Chains A and B, each alone.
Chain A
Amino acid sequence: MASSSDNEEVRVLGKWASPFSNRIDLALKLKGVPYKYSEEDLANKSLDLLKYNPVHKKVPVLVHNGNSIAESLVILEYIDEVWNNNNNHAFLPQDPYHRALARFWCKTLDDKILPAIWNACWSDEKGREKAVEEALEALKILQDELKDKKFFGGETIGLVDIAANFIGYWVSILQEIAGLELLTIEKFPKLYEWSQEYINHPVIKEGLPPRDELFAFFKASAKK
C-alpha cells in the first residue's frame, strides 16, 4: 500500500479506451495508490478538464492535492518520483545512463512506433503496403531493444513497459479488426512473449480495459 497520507487526493481524468489514459491507471495501480477516476467525454468537455488542462484540453490529466499535470509520460515520471518509498515499484533505475535509455524508448514509442502501427491499422488500400512495412520495422526495433529481458524494465515492469501498453494489448485488437498480422509469435517471438507476460501480470491484468469492450469500441470506429 502507498505510504502517502489518507488526506492526499489523487484524481485522474481519462478515457477508458485510450492507451495514454490507461498508462496512468497502470502506474497508480503498480504503486498501490488509491485514486478517483473521472471518465471524460471529449465531445463535451467537463469544466474540470478545461480547468486542469487549459493548454491542450486533453486526457489524461493527473490531479494531486489540487495540482494538475498533463502529458502521459510526464505524469508517469511524476508518479515514479512522488511515490518512491518502495524500491520494488520503481519505474526507472537509479543509473543515469539506463534512465536515459528508458526515457529514449518511451519517446520513441510515442514519436515513431505507436504512430507507425496506428497508421497501418487504419490505412486505406493505397497506403497499406508501405504503412505495414513501417509498422513491422517499428516492431523490429522494439524487439531488438527487449533482447532477452522478461520486461523492458528487466525482471520487473518499468517505465517503458507501462508506456508500451499499446503494444502489449491494443495492437492485438486493432490488427484483428484491420485484418493484419503485425505482432505475431511467428514474426516477433520475443516481443510476443513479452506481451503475454505483460497482460498476465497480476496488476496489469486488473488495470487493462476488458478486451471485448475495447474490441467493440474500435470495431465501431472502423465502420465510420
Chain B
Amino acid sequence: MAEKKNSNGEVKLLGAWPSPFVIRARIALNIKSVEYDFIEETFGKRSQLLLKSNPVNKQIPVLIHGHKCIAESMIIVQYIHEAWSSSGPPILPSLPYDRAIARFWLTYIDDKWFPPLKSIVLGLDTEPIEEKLEKVREGLVLLEDAFNKISKGKDFFGGDQIGYLDIGFGSFLAWLKTVEVTEGVSLVHETTTPALAKWLQKFCAHDAVKDVLPPIDKLIAFSKMLRANVDLVINPK
C-alpha cells in the first residue's frame, strides 16, 4: 500500500461504516493515498458538524477539506480526482465520451437500480419482494452488458485501474451480498453475470477497497437493526 500523504488533519470525512455512499468517498481517498480523519455519525441522529457542513441535505458523506465542505458521494469522488490530480492514478476516464458513459451509468445505478435493492434491505412492503429482486436482476444484466462494452477486455470498468464507475457500483457489493444471504437468492453469479462475477472478486480484493467494504456478518446484523427502525431511516432527526 502506498504511503499515505500526511494531510495534518486537513481532510475529514463525515460518514458511517455501513453506507455505500460513504464507502465511495473512502475508496477514492485511498486511491489517491490521502490521509483523513473518519468521523462517524451515530445512526438516527445528526451531529452539529453534519448540520453545519451540509445544511441543504443534512446527509453523509461530507468531505471537509480545510474550510471546504463537499457533499454528494459522486461529486466528492470527482472532487478527489481533481484536487489530488498529481497523486495516484486518475479516477475518471480521460476522454469526454468515456466520462459521459460512466456518469450516465452512475445516474442509472443511483436513480433506478439501487431503490429496489434499498427497499429489500429495509423490508418495505411497497411491492412483492420477487418483483424487487427481478428489477435488481434486470439491472445487473444491463450492467453486465455495460461492463463488457466499457472494460474492453480489461479487469475493471476503468480498464486496468478501478475508476469512477467501479467505485460507484462496487460500493453496493457488500449490501448486494447481504441481500443474497438474508433472502437466500443469487444475484451476481458466474452463470448469469459471468463478467460481473469476475469483476466483483477483483474489485473486493483491491487494496483501495478491501478495508472499507464492511464484513457481511456485521452488515446482516446492521440490516436487522435498520428494519426495526425504518422510520428513523426515512425521517432522521
Contacts and interface: CB of A to CB of B under 8 A. Distances in A.
Interface string B33-64: 00000000000000000000000110000000
A41 B104 CA distance: 23
Given A55-B142, A71-B104, A104-B71, A97 B99 contact: no
B72 A103 contact: yes
Contacts of B72: 103-104, 107
Interface in B61-94: 65, 68, 70-72, 75-76, 78-79, 82-83
Interface residues of B, number: 23
Contacts of B57: 108, 112
Given A103-B72, A104-B72, A107-B75, A74 B56 contact: no
B78 A78 contact: no
A81 B108 CA distance: 21
A70 B104 contact: yes
Contacts of B65: 97
Interface residues of A, number: 25
Given A55-B142, A71-B103, A104-B70, A81 B79 contact: no
B86 to A, nearest CB: 12
A141 B65 CA distance: 23
Nearest to A97: B68
Given A55-B142, A141-B56, A67 B75 contact: no
B100 A77 contact: yes
- Chain B CB within 10 Å — which of A73, A103, A104 has the most? A104
Contacts of A202: none
A108 B103 contact: no
B107 interface: yes
A74 B98 CA distance: 11
A82 interface: yes
Contact of B79 (A73, A74, A97, A141): A97
